[in-house]
Amino acid sequence: MTNSVSDKTMVVISKVGDYWVNKRRASAIMKIKEQNPNSSIELDGSLISCNVIDGIITASQYDDLNKKRRGAWCCKFGKWHERNEQCAHHLVSR
C-alpha cells in the first residue's frame, strides 16, 4: 500500500451520498449545476442528478458538518462538544 496525498479537497454533498473531488472538478460541477440544473454528472462511477446536489464544501466545512450530523455542538469559545456534553471552557483561565 502506497501512502499518497490526494488532491481531493472538496466534497460534493448530495441526497445520495458525499463525494470527494478536486477543486477543478468541483468548479466544473458547480458550472454544470448552474447552467443546466436538470442534467446529470458522473461521480465515482455513479450517475448523479444535479438536482440532488445540495452543495460543494471544503474539507474543513465537511468536518464541521459531520460533527453536527452526529449531534455535536460548538460553544461560544469555538470548541466542539459531543451531544449532551457540557461546556466548561468558561472555567479555564485565559
pLDDT by residue for the chain (94 residues), tens only, comes to 556 678 999 999 999 999 999 999 999 999 999 999 999 999 999 999 999 999 999 999 999 999 999 999 999 998 999 998 898 888 875 5
Torsion of CA 20, 25, 31, 35, to 10 degrees: -80
Residue 76 lies in a domain: yes
How many structural domains does the chain have? Answer: 1
CA-based angle 10:40:44, to the nearest 5?
Answer: 50
Buried b (16+ CB within 10 A) or exposed e, 79-89: eebeeeeeeee
**Amino acid found at 67:** K
Residue 54, domain extent: 10-91
What pLDDT, on a 0 to 100 scale, did the predictor assign at position 2? 59
Residue 52 lies in a domain: yes
Q: Grid coordinates standing for 51?
A: 438536482
Residue 5 lies in a domain: no
Q: Grid coordinates standing for 72?
A: 455535536
What pLDDT, on a 0 to 100 scale, did the predictor assign at position 73? 93
Residue 3 lies in a domain: no
Residue 4 lies in a domain: no
Residue 38 lies in a domain: yes
